[in-house]
Amino acid sequence: MNLVKRLKICVFTFALLFIGTAVNAQITNDITHEEAFTALLAAKKNAEDSNVLVNIAVVDAGANLKAFIRMDESYLGSIDVAIKKAKTARYFNMDTGKLGELTQPGGIIYNIELTNNGMVSFPGGLPIKNKDGKIIGAIGVSGGTIEQDRAIATVGAKSILE
């Protein structure tokens, strides 16, 4: 009993020492709704110029939906795909297509798409970075070919830097 008590004290002393290093609150950067709109409209314009019908979703730094639009006649199934692409890109801070290279049969993170309430691992999702290169959100595009989706997402993500 005495030993257990001592152990407990040890664990928590250890824990408290650990906490001792905590000093400054974390300052993060989050996309604004104006930036989200800018990205949405830039992506939409690019889609129209390319004659592609897409759904476009933008999530914030916390992977929560910030802005969305579905172009007329675009796929209904692309609503969820676009949102999940944006979330996935923020969940792992990468191009969703890059993730997909690792999730194939035999890949090192095979079937990771089954986590996080369903993820998308093909192109069309991209992190959005601010001028300092910090990730502040992500964009997801669905409706065209994967190359088209990625190209449109790229235009959207870059638009906030102009």
Tell me which residues in 33-52 interact with its own copies (CB under 8 A): 33-38, 41, 44-45
Among 119, 126, 153, 155, binds its own copies (CB under 8 A): 119
Binding mask 67-86 for its own copies (x = CB under 8 A): xxxxxx--xxxxxxx--x--
Alpha helices in 92-145 (DSSP H): 96-103
Nearer to its own copies, 2 or 21 (CB): 21
Rounded to 5 degrees, what are φ and ψ at 125? -115, 135
β-pair partners for 125: 140
Residue 1 or 22: which CB sits closer to its own copies? 22
User: Is residue 106 near its own copies by the rule CB under 8 A?
Assistant: yes
- The residue among 146, 132, 153 whose CA lies nearest residue 46 is 153
161 binds its own copies (CB under 8 A): no
DSSP string, 55-103: EEEEEETTS-EEEEEE-TTS-TTHHHHHHHHHHHHHHTTS-HHHHHHHH
92 binds its own copies (CB under 8 A): yes
CA angle 69, 73, 79 (to 5 degrees): 40
Torsion from C-alpha of 85, 123, 55, 91, nearest 10 degrees: 10
Is 22 one of the binding residues for its own copies (CB under 8 A)?
yes
For position 98 contacting its own copies by CB under 8 A, the verdict is no
Q: Closest approach of Cβ 111 to its own copies, in Å?
A: 5
Q: Note whether 126 binds its own copies by CB under 8 A.
A: no
Nearer to its own copies, 1 or 76 (CB): 76
**Which neighbouring-strand residues pair with 65?**
59
Among 44, 59, 33, 28, smallest CA distance to 128 is for 59
Q: Does 158 bind its own copies (CB under 8 A)?
A: no
We find the least distance from the C-beta atom of residue 33 to its own copies, in angstroms, to be 5
